Structure 1
Amino acid sequence: MARFPLPSVPSRLIDIEVADSRRRSTPVAAADPDLQAGEVREGHGEVRWLVGVGAGAAKDWRAAGAALVRAAQADDGKPARAVQVELGAEANVAELAMGALLGGYRFKVSAETTPGLQTLRLVTPEAAAAEQVVERVRELAAAATLARDLANTPSNIKNPPWLAETAERVVAGVPGLRATIRDEAWLAEQGFGGVLAVGGGSASPPRLIELTYRPRGAGRHLLLVGKGITFDTGGLSIKPAEGMHLMRTDMAGGAAVIAAIRAIATLGLGVRVTALVPAAENHVSGGSYRPGDVVRHYGGITTEVSNTDAEGRMVLADALVYGIRRFRPDAVVDVATLTGAMKVSLGLRTGGLFATDDELAARVVAAGEQAGEAWWRMPLLEEHVDAVRGELADVRQAPGGPGGVTAALFLREFVDGVPWAHLDIAGPARAEKPYADVVPGATGFAARTLVELAASYA
């Protein structure tokens, strides 16, 4: 257990009230289309802040909500506990609320707690309709927040058993959602060679987190698989010291999957979903796996290890085969902070999408647009398939070449023809500075996309 105060997981969201009239003595903000989106200026009279909504696109309203909360929290060093904002009938209440819920997020391990904004009151003539919209927004924001919490938790607390126990705790009591935690003995008995190889160098044993949601009457079944590397030293192919501290967020894909299925079940979406998170710590010791090793995965495929820092694909391979054979889904989506190559290709705000199925790819892109998360489809270049073939084993783990492409081609070897999408979130999973509704640290990227993807099947 922690010997110092950790923020609660999940973090508490601010309360959002919807009403058709102002409340006396509560500071007032007003949306201003003449200001750039996210710009905040001092108001006059009863209006303390003017918040820019720019052209009024969805992203503009999200930026406005985030900017308002930040301004209220920083106001003259005396953070407001409650704020109300006047909105016209043209306001995008859902996106404003989303920006407010996520833009004021904070995660700090400290003995001191500074109270922040607790209540945002949305004053709108469409109060009844807006309240229904905000209820759904709360769950989507809660998913992104939980994913941030899990990824931000420091790795001296967050090892594979902690992640598994926390996942089990946060889904407890959600109707229709069940957690099963597989320990290292079960993994060895079942032949999860990739997970065991990666986790072999750590004193903290690996886990497989298995979450299942099966509502009555569901016609489609979606399998979600998330990389759960709770800390990544790179193993014997050790990473440079600079930047290694960020590797506490190397399980951001797993965090997104856990958070997404929790929201899917809470919303009661009519689609069956199974979520798997292979969790391990890639550490350095006499038990570490080595370059040149041959590893046998669940299901029998063998991998020739080229670089122990390419550990994410090792654990995902086991989980993909297990999930497909055990649950027989209609479609599979894996999410991982997998390759630095994707950061070079797409930058830090766009996720890479590889897919074997055009319909599934289109669904992911559309879900991302709905959620406010950007995806760019990348090619599965067949001319690089031979590079993935192994000499000592069936496949080679890290053959060089275009890193994001060859990593995806490696994973494709384990999906057995099922419609599959691979989401590489190495870039947008973490941020160094605030923008829009994102704050420094883990961003929760992909969690909302996965919820909207499930909704498209429901």
Structure 2
Amino acid sequence: MIEVELAESRLPVVATVAVLGSGDPLADLSGAGAGLAPDWVTALRPTGKTGEVLAIADSDYAWTLGVGAGRPGDWRAAGAALVRTVNTRLAEDDEAGRRVPRGLQVRLPETMEPEAAAAFVLGVLLGGHRYTLRTETPPPSLERLRLVTATEEASAELAAAVTEATRHAEATALARDFASVPANIKNPPWLAGQAEQELAGNPGLRVTVRDEQWLEAKGFGGVLAVGGGSATPPRLVEMAWRPRGVTGRHLVLVGKGITFDTGGISLKPAEGMHWMRTDMAGGGAVIAALRAIAALRIPLRVTGLVPLAENHLSGSSYRPGDIVRHYDGTTTAVANTDAEGRMVLADALGYAVRHHRADLIVDVATLTGAMKATLGVRTGGLFASEDELAERLLAAGEYVGERFWRLPFVEEEEIDLRAGLADLNQAPGGPGGIAAAMFLREFTGGVPWAHLDIAGAARAEKGYDEVNIGATGFAARTLVKFAGELAGQTGSRRTTGISRSVRR
């Protein structure tokens, strides 16, 4: 991660960025604040549009940066564009044997809002994030970002927002890294071990890994069925954040952790299957969110549950037509072994309700291809049992730059969900994303619950804004922001509007 600092003065020897909005006069760039020579401004004629980065002179590390209308989204996109442009220049100069400075300073506008500053930092940190297994030495990249504020008061006001944004960026980067690791390395025991390692050293945060013997003894039939076809056994990662002196509501986050998904007997097409190393993106987001929640010392009891399994094809794979009994005793008739995510989540949701006595549950998963077809690759689907819960998650996502769209339950589809030999039909047909959400709802016990389907947004085949090609880390920072906002409300569930209720 790039090191970010706030300061009240500009250093004369550090590379400088001058900020310009789409409606700002060019004369502002040659003022005392920006400190750019008038002839440079005249020669460049920057427009100030979002993400426009112009080098002021070939021999100097000085730039203009356009932030458009100056909304948080503009600042986030501008930050990512800036770091990519600077890193490209650094690599070119290093290759040519020229001087390569690793620091950059940006003079922030006097009217800079904390939300915009947070967005800018997020864009810089994530736009500059890299994951690679290549053996050559990576090219040089930006290491330090100095944000120059107008006054000491402004600096203090922005500090908390920058710290929070840094933790959000770290969570997203960790979730990206987890999802990017190839499946020949990332099997369930490996990822469980990485979760232990990454979350170690945080007072109040405990990680427990449950093995296949424990899962069998406790009746995690869905996890065992999905993982039964693999040479590597399944795991359950259980994370408990218990800040000292904090009681009250208990939030449980549940993440799908399929380390690779062949589809099992219901085999997927070969085209695009390599992306299935990212099918644990929801679980990675939950692990990363727990680390950030602990780092920010959010005063809220939070538990993270990540059922890990590899959905493979072998003589021990589960089959269409099998009947599986889940942790809470519910039986499911398997129709499609490629609908494996809901099978493992069903066990974890039941465990959240019965064992952890959750007051509120949010699950996140790359669950259905229908979600990608419906919402594309930049938006996650959101289902929620209560309106205020949905509104809180939508607001959290909007603040951190992750867009969700709320989708409905279609109660008329429930008759197909309950048809057949077992309590539930795993894949009843109809609208795929909605059917999957309604299946999961059966395991929530009437506890306020939301389901985030990130099948489209979890991976990117081309970059945009702060997102780079590959795993995106989508939803990790939304979970962190949501937990923080939830912790900011005191009193009983009644005061928040999020109450425990029985659906039937």
| 1:220 Cα deviation from its structure 2 partner | 1.3
- Cα distance in 2 for partners of 1:165, 1:321 equals 24
How do residues 70-85 of structure 1 correspond to structure 2 at under 5 angstroms?
70-75=84-89, 77-78=92-93, 80-85=101-106
Deviations 1:408-434 (A, max 9, x none): 011111111111101000011111111
Deviations 1:236-289 (A, max 9, x none): 111111100000100000011111111111111111001100000000111101
RMSD: 1.3
- Cα distance in 1 for partners of 2:336, 2:170 equals 36
Equivalent in the alignment of 1:413: 442
Equivalent in the alignment of 1:331: 360
Equivalent in the alignment of 2:403: 374
Equivalent in the alignment of 1:254: 283
Equivalent in the alignment of 1:88: 109
| 1:145 Cα deviation from its structure 2 partner | 0.8
Does the CA-based 8 Å contact 1:80-1:116 persist in structure 2? no
Partner of 1:43: helix, strand, or coil? strand
1:116 maps to a residue whose letter is: S
Equivalent in the alignment of 1:33: 21
Equivalent in the alignment of 1:49: 63
Partner of 2:141: helix, strand, or coil? coil
Equivalent in the alignment of 1:390: 419
Equivalent in the alignment of 2:494: none
Deviations 1:92-119 (A, max 9, x none): 3221111101111110101123132111
- Cα distance in 1 for partners of 2:483, 2:401 equals 16
1:121 and 2:146 matched: yes
Equivalent in the alignment of 1:98: 122
1:17 and 2:5 matched: yes
Distance 1:121 1:381, change over 3 A: same
Q: What are structure 1's unaligned runs of at least 5 residues?
A: 1-12
- Cα distance in 2 for partners of 1:93, 1:297 equals 46
1:112 maps to a residue whose letter is: E
How do residues 121-140 of structure 1 correspond to structure 2 at under 5 angstroms?
121-125=146-150, 126-140=154-168
Equivalent in the alignment of 1:8: none
Deviations 1:314-369 (A, max 9, x none): 00000100111011111111100000101111111111001111121111111111
Distance 1:89 1:218, change over 3 A: farther
Partner of 1:335: helix, strand, or coil? strand
1:443 and 2:472 matched: yes
Partner of 1:242: helix, strand, or coil? coil
- Cα distance in 2 for partners of 1:365, 1:119 equals 32
Does the CA-based 8 Å contact 1:72-1:83 persist in structure 2? no
Distance 1:123 1:46, change over 3 A: farther
- Cα distance in 2 for partners of 1:198, 1:217 equals 37
- Cα distance in 1 for partners of 2:281, 2:266 equals 21
| 1:17 Cα deviation from its structure 2 partner | 1.8
2:69 maps to a residue whose letter is: A
Equivalent in the alignment of 1:108: 132
Equivalent in the alignment of 1:180: 208
2:109 maps to a residue whose letter is: G
Does the CA-based 8 Å contact 1:220-1:457 persist in structure 2? no
Deviations 1:111-165 (A, max 9, x none): 1231321111112213343333322221111111111111111111110001100
| 1:23 Cα deviation from its structure 2 partner | 2.3
| 1:26 Cα deviation from its structure 2 partner | 2.2
Say which of 133, 152, 170 aligns to 2:198.
170
Does the CA-based 8 Å contact 2:278-2:471 persist in structure 1? yes
| 1:46 Cα deviation from its structure 2 partner | 6.4
1:230 maps to a residue whose letter is: T
| 1:82 Cα deviation from its structure 2 partner | 1.6
| 1:47 Cα deviation from its structure 2 partner | 6.6
Deviations 1:58-82 (A, max 9, x none): 0000011111100110016136522
Does the CA-based 8 Å contact 1:72-1:80 persist in structure 2? no
Partner of 1:327: helix, strand, or coil? coil
Partner of 1:142: helix, strand, or coil? helix
| 1:84 Cα deviation from its structure 2 partner | 1.5
Does the CA-based 8 Å contact 1:304-1:390 persist in structure 2? no
| 1:22 Cα deviation from its structure 2 partner | 2.1
Q: TM-score, normalised by structure 2?
A: 0.86
Does the CA-based 8 Å contact 1:313-1:338 persist in structure 2? yes
1:292 and 2:321 matched: yes
1:453 and 2:482 matched: yes
- Cα distance in 2 for partners of 1:132, 1:394 equals 49
- Cα distance in 1 for partners of 2:212, 2:473 equals 28
Partner of 1:270: helix, strand, or coil? coil
How do residues 188-337 of structure 1 correspond to structure 2 at under 5 angstroms?
188-215=216-243, 216-337=245-366
- Cα distance in 1 for partners of 2:426, 2:369 equals 15
Does the CA-based 8 Å contact 1:164-1:207 persist in structure 2? yes
| 1:389 Cα deviation from its structure 2 partner | 1.1
Partner of 1:444: helix, strand, or coil? coil
Q: TM-score, normalised by structure 1?
A: 0.95
Equivalent in the alignment of 2:31: none
Partner of 2:422: helix, strand, or coil? coil
Partner of 1:280: helix, strand, or coil? strand
Distance 1:388 1:265, change over 3 A: same
Partner of 1:426: helix, strand, or coil? coil
Work out the number of aligned pairs and report it: 446
Higher radius of gyration, 1 or 2: 2
Partner of 2:195: helix, strand, or coil? helix
Partner of 2:355: helix, strand, or coil? helix
